[in-house]
Structure 1
Amino acid sequence: MSYATTPVLVIHGGAGVIKREMSPAKEKMVRAALTLALQKGYAKLKEGKPALDAVTAAITVLEDDPNFNAGKGAVFTHDGKNELDAAIMDGSNLKAGAIAGVHRVKNPILLARAVMDKTEHVMLSGDGAETFAKEAGIELVDPSYFRTEERWQQLQKALKEDKLGQQHSDVETAKHFGTVGAVALDADGRLAAGTSTGGMTDKRWGRIGDSPIIGAGTYANSGCAVSGTGWGEYYIRTVAAHEICMRVTQMRVPLKRAAAEVINQEIPSMGGNGGAIALDASGNVAMPFNTDGMFRGWIGADGVAHVAIYGDESDGTDDPMPGTDQ
């Protein structure tokens, strides 16, 4: 596999019930946030910084934006709390860091990065993770920081339906797929992946999805990087991110085909749904999803941020990108 010298950054802000009924004002805000995340992340790559820095910078922007289910806009658990998960992985050496079930960490991706860089561990959870956050100088906030009225009302709707014994009326309320993620290729050919999420609305019992689990929702090696968004239980059961990368690096399956086989065939065949972003060492991009839409975007050699939301909207990845083997 040839290695690109042209950096590439790809991001997602979640997949799910994303229809054109979205208000023009909200759509404008979402597109602006995706564009800003791409610009902030790609600026790191242009400075010659490693892919890890680009992933961290892009995800931090999305964690700070209340339109996404991560950080500030995280959904609520059944008990009315926000429980945050995140992971990051360096494809050049397979180092990784992850955190799960934290309540006060302003930017979970920064804590996941600190776990990777400053400890001998891969995953920390709950109170212990927050104790480490204090020691590592990671910013903590009052839990009220994460509350948004939109997410609170989604929980109230779900709780009402719980009491009535009804199925949740829409996927957005029952299983909000607003997870955010990024994958990047730097000028030295190194790949990295990261994912951050608030999980599912109305989740119980300390449920943890695929996002912080290395190999399930987040994975990178020397030839492939993947961040997923969707019904986490199925991404865990299929080890989706790792499976895509193994097809690319071990079976020599083209990236787009490998990603589509796992996301649009294997996971739906079991009853799951969602999407993913994937990037290979040649700079090829894949953004498959089987839902109404997926907040997504990429930026490459020309420095232009390509952003898309809806399923019938071109994201530009069908056009050959400079420096790739598509």
Structure 2
Amino acid sequence: MTMPNDPAQTWAIAVHGGAGTIERAQLRPEQEAAYRAALTRVVETGAAVLEQGGSALDAVEAAIHLLEEDPLFNSGRGAVFTAEGRIELDASIMDGATLAAGAVAGVTRTRSPLSLARAVMERSPHVMMVGAGADAFSVSQGLEQVEPSYFATQRRWRSLENFLKAHDLPVPAKPGGLDRPDPAKGLAHDEGKHGTVGVVALDTAGNVAAGTSTGGTTGKQWGRVGDSPIIGAGTYASNGACAVSATGSGEYFIRLTVARDIAALVELKGMSLQAAADEVVQNKLTALGGDGGIIAVAPDGQLAWSFNTSGMYRGRASAGGPVSVGIYKDET
């Protein structure tokens, strides 16, 4: 997708809500409608920031806030449970103009893990914080705190119970919060064992940014961390190449440094954004046995997405064009 030539009028945004086994036969019409409406709201929210001259970072944060608050998706409220019956959240963000980046893993009380990742980037000398230290830093920065039960949903608890029983693992005691009404009840679809949300954006100043947020994988053990908070794997942004956010089997994305690899093909080999994305996702990732997908945007306005699963919740918009959302493989 090519953008207008006038840089003063150029902005673009793409979002994803996770990739996995998502097929038409599995989604009822009301479920499909709910996801398309949610993706449209997220794209429109980020696009409004960009259209008003806001920064790519602000657009990424505003859009991911909505995704983290929507229990349809595996991030923030509605995230999956660990094997111990906890919710541990990961997120990262990167500024393509400066290569500044921030990431958090295993946080439990910050309402927006993505905002905490941005605080790490902008208000600390570090790139990544984890666990109790990240939670403490969040409090020190005045970010909104919630009880861990805030993130819990009955649907995700049932998924954990099924996972643990299938693997002959003990089921922990039920946490609080499961009796709270779930606005996504009857609408959410289990996209598989993993799910993530992400946003990439290009602003009218020519800067790109990327952000990713997730609850990880159902039943994860031993403090497992996937690719979402790993700069270069699940998230990367450089004005010299592109911005990328990934979703899928995190261990494979880490091993391939998927996000950075796409950027390197654009920057060093001069490949188009779509060609670079397809080379990494359809060829390298598939050959290694990993599944998932990415969204990406380049400073010249190219937008791309690529995934090797049956579906990926996704949407995009650019200056002067309509909002486009998709779910299934055969949608452009």
TM over 0.5: yes
CA distance in 2, matches of 1:279, 1:100: 25
Q: Which amino acid aligns with 1:153?
A: R
- Equivalent position of 2:242 in the other structure: 224
- Give the counterpart of 1:188 among 190, 205, 218: 205
- Equivalent position of 1:31 in the other structure: 36
- Give the counterpart of 1:240 among 258, 266, 269: 258
Q: Which amino acid aligns with 1:216?
A: A
1:307 and 2:325 correspond: yes
Aligned to 2:39, what secondary structure does the other structure show?
helix
CA distance in 2, matches of 1:177, 1:162: 17
**Maintained 8 Å contact 1:97/1:123:** yes
CA distance in 2, matches of 1:7, 1:313: 23
1:15 and 2:19 correspond: yes
CA distance in 2, matches of 1:32, 1:173: 18
- Equivalent position of 1:215 in the other structure: 232
CA distance in 1, matches of 2:147, 2:319: 40
**Maintained 8 Å contact 2:19/2:191:** no
1:70 and 2:88 correspond: no
Distance change >3 Å, CA 221–CA 302, structure 1 → 2: same
CA distance in 2, matches of 1:124, 1:202: 22
**Alpha-carbon offset, residue 173 of structure 1:** 7.0
- Equivalent position of 1:320 in the other structure: none
Aligned pairs, number? 307
CA distance in 1, matches of 2:9, 2:322: 17
**Alpha-carbon offset, residue 178 of structure 1:** 2.0
CA distance in 2, matches of 1:286, 1:6: 16
Kindly, what percent of the aligned residue pairs are identical?
A: 52
The Cα offsets for residues 59-79 of structure 1, whole Å up to 9 and x where unpaired, read as 110000000000001111111
**Maintained 8 Å contact 1:39/1:305:** yes
CA distance in 1, matches of 2:216, 2:192: 8
CA distance in 1, matches of 2:319, 2:328: 24
- Equivalent position of 2:119 in the other structure: 114
Q: Which amino acid aligns with 2:143?
A: I
CA distance in 2, matches of 1:2, 1:204: 50
Q: Which amino acid aligns with 2:77?
A: K
1:199 and 2:216 correspond: yes
CA distance in 1, matches of 2:161, 2:190: 9
Structure 2 gap segments, 5+ residues each: 170-188
- Equivalent position of 1:249 in the other structure: 267
- Equivalent position of 2:292 in the other structure: 274
CA distance in 1, matches of 2:162, 2:190: 7
CA distance in 2, matches of 1:4, 1:204: 48
| CA RMSD after TM alignment | 1.7
CA distance in 2, matches of 1:2, 1:292: 36
**Maintained 8 Å contact 1:69/1:179:** yes
**Maintained 8 Å contact 2:46/2:59:** yes
Q: Normalised by the size of structure 2, how large is the TM-score?
A: 0.89
**Maintained 8 Å contact 2:9/2:319:** no
CA distance in 2, matches of 1:85, 1:2: 37
CA distance in 2, matches of 1:72, 1:23: 23
Aligned to 1:250, what secondary structure does the other structure show?
helix
The Cα offsets for residues 226-253 of structure 1, whole Å up to 9 and x where unpaired, read as 0000000010000100000010011111
Q: Which amino acid aligns with 1:49?
A: G
**Alpha-carbon offset, residue 176 of structure 1:** 2.8
**Alpha-carbon offset, residue 15 of structure 1:** 0.2
CA distance in 2, matches of 1:80, 1:96: 30
**Maintained 8 Å contact 1:4/1:281:** no
Using the TM superposition, name which of 4-13 and 239-248 deviates more.
4-13
Q: Normalised by the size of structure 1, how large is the TM-score?
A: 0.91
1:163 and 2:168 correspond: yes
**Maintained 8 Å contact 2:18/2:191:** no
**Maintained 8 Å contact 2:7/2:204:** no
